[in-house]
Structure 1
Amino acid sequence: MSMRSIATMGMLLTGLAMSPAPAVAAGDAAKGAIVFKRCVACHTVEPGKKAGMGPNLAGIVGRKAGTTSFAYSPAMKAAAISWTPDKLDTFLTRPAAMIKGSRMAFAGLPNAQDRADVIAYLATRK
């Protein structure tokens, strides 16, 4: 390998190391409403309405975890996080991996665009 190739590779690796972590992809709230239909068996986004097996998600974006009138697991109550789009993205990827002991019986949304769309939709539900 030539010195020029090594130098180029070094600059590329340095640039990658200095790049900020990728933010959550831009979501489409209309598509998110469709993806959210997978969630309605347990959750609602209608303010003031009692949800099913899960908490009401109206106003979740920006809210501290485990703080609405719902019987949260001790793990969720103790989670010292606020639901930012990045935290929601991590949680929706695989809930049990982010908050061990959470009662959310959902494997997660593996598709990053589906997650971004759901988060965009939830952001509209105040």
Structure 2
Amino acid sequence: MKDAETIGAFIAVLMLACAAAGPGHAQDAEHGKAVFKGCATCHTTDHANRVGPGLKEVVGRKAGTVPGFRYSNAMRNSGIVWDTKTLEAYLESPQTVVPGNSMPYAGLKDATDRTDLVAYLATLK
């Protein structure tokens, strides 16, 4: 009986741990759109350049290639093609991903905000 109690207790603890962890965060592009409002001072959602380049079609685009935007040498020479993983890393710490880039932004520290922002950027087709 003791083994059955031990197994039962283990299963109960395992179930509680799984319930507490919950499902992974589903990307929320609508929330990402709200997060983007903080980016809109420098970036547009079309091809127009401001202080930063326009972000339409950024997912899948080679870094440093928007016509008419003056990129840093670091960005032009980075060799990066923006995918969701690279964008999330860049948004967390731009200077870590592309040292010497000219974006004056310390990074978006909230992982949910980053994931959702990238989901929103992926809709800009």
**TM-score normalised per structure 1:** 0.76
Aligned length: 100
Percent identity among equivalent residues? 46
How many Å separate the matches in 2 of 1:77 and 1:85? 19
Quick one: distance in 1 between partners of 2:77 and 2:26?
30
**Cα distance in structure 1, aligned partners of 2:50 and 2:80:** 23
Structure 2, unmatched stretches of 5+, are 1-24
Shift of 1:26: 3.8
1:36 Cα shift?
0.3
Match of 1:13 in 2: none
Structure 1 stretches lacking a partner, 5+ long: 1-24
- The offset of 1:27, in angstroms, is 1.7
2:61 to 27, 50, 63: 63
Counterpart of 2:7 in structure 1 is none
Q: Distance in 2 between matches of 1:89 and 1:26?
A: 15
Quick one: distance in 1 between partners of 2:102 and 2:27?
A: 27
Q: SS in structure 1 opposite 2:91?
A: helix
Amino acid across the alignment from 1:112: A
Deviation at 1:113, TM superposition (A): 0.5
CA distance in 2, matches of 1:62, 1:111: 23
- Deviating above 6 A after TM superposition, structure 1's stretches of 4 or more consecutive aligned residues are none
Local SS of the residue matching 1:38: coil
